[in-house]
Amino acid sequence: MNESNPTVFIVDDDASVRKSLERLIKSVGFNAETFTSAEEFLSRKPYGGPSCLILDVCMPGLSGIDLHKKLTREEIPIPIIFITGHGDIPMSVKAIKNGAVDFLPKPFDKKELISAINQAIDRDVHTRKLLIEKEEIQHRLNTLTPREFQVLRWVITGMLNKQIAYELGVTEKTIKVHRGRVMQKMQIDSVAELVRLAQKVGIAPPNK
């Protein structure tokens, strides 16, 4: 069990389900870790590597649905595969619309579950990659002064320095200096890259 290998977390109040899932998952080469309740899962320390969550819908205490909501609210984007013995269509529809990877009624086909797990892990790897990228960008953005950030937002509109200068009520010279520092701090050397970078973290142009 190491953190570079994908881990599948299993939350189900039924011991036999936990056991069989754990065996199945380990047999295909993933780490598996089981929990008897949503609360127990929440108290686990955050996992660093790629992972996903197999979650029973109905459980005493916090239900699987509740846990999903909570994770969404707290922006913990771990991919979720629901399993359930007593689900209905509206419930499954809602779960998928809220971002669950799959929703499998018990008993389910092993191949289907494995397929869902692979999808979930792939999604998590992708999500993590984007997240890390965003954090790196954000870190550099935080080194900008307020004025520099303001200039950045105008620069990505494609306006000329003199136009930006007019908008901010300063001289073109000043914009040049701010702009130069923005590029230096963001560690790039073209407007094209700045535009893409701003897009990735959702920086909008000024309201005018």
Partner DNA sequence: ATTTAAATTGGACCTTGGTCCAATACGGGT
Partner DNA sequence: ACCCGTATTGGACCAAGGTCCAATTTAAAT
Q: Which of 4, 43, 142, 190 binds a second copy (CB under 8 A)?
A: 190
Beta carbons within 10 angstroms of residue 120's beta carbon: 24
Residue 188 as a binder of DNA (CB under 7 A): the answer is: no
Query: 34, 23 in Cβ contact below 8 A?
Result: no
Question: CA 159 to CA 48: how far, in whole Å?
Answer: 42
Q: 151-180: which residues touch a second copy (CB under 8 A)?
A: 155-159
Residue whose CB is less far from a second copy, 3 or 133: 133
Does residue 2 sit in helix, strand or coil?
coil
Q: Give the position of tokens 């990505």.
A: 156
Q: Residue 170 binds which entry of a second copy, DNA, none, with Cβ cut-offs from 5 to 8 Å by kind?
A: DNA
Query: 175, 153 in Cβ contact below 8 A?
Result: no
Kindly state the tokens that stand for 84: 């359930």
Q: 74-133: which residues touch a second copy (CB under 8 A)?
A: 87-90, 92-93, 96-97, 102-105
Pick the stretch among 30-38, 98-106, 128-136, 156-164 that binds DNA (CB under 7 A): 156-164
Q: Residue 105 binds which entry of a second copy, DNA, none, with Cβ cut-offs from 5 to 8 Å by kind?
A: a second copy
Q: Residue 88 binds which entry of a second copy, DNA, none, with Cβ cut-offs from 5 to 8 Å by kind?
A: a second copy
Beta bridge partners of 103: 82
Question: CA 31 to CA 188: how far, in whole Å?
Answer: 39
Residue 157 as a binder of DNA (CB under 7 A): the answer is: no
Q: Residue 147 binds which entry of DNA, a second copy, none, with Cβ cut-offs from 5 to 8 Å by kind?
A: DNA
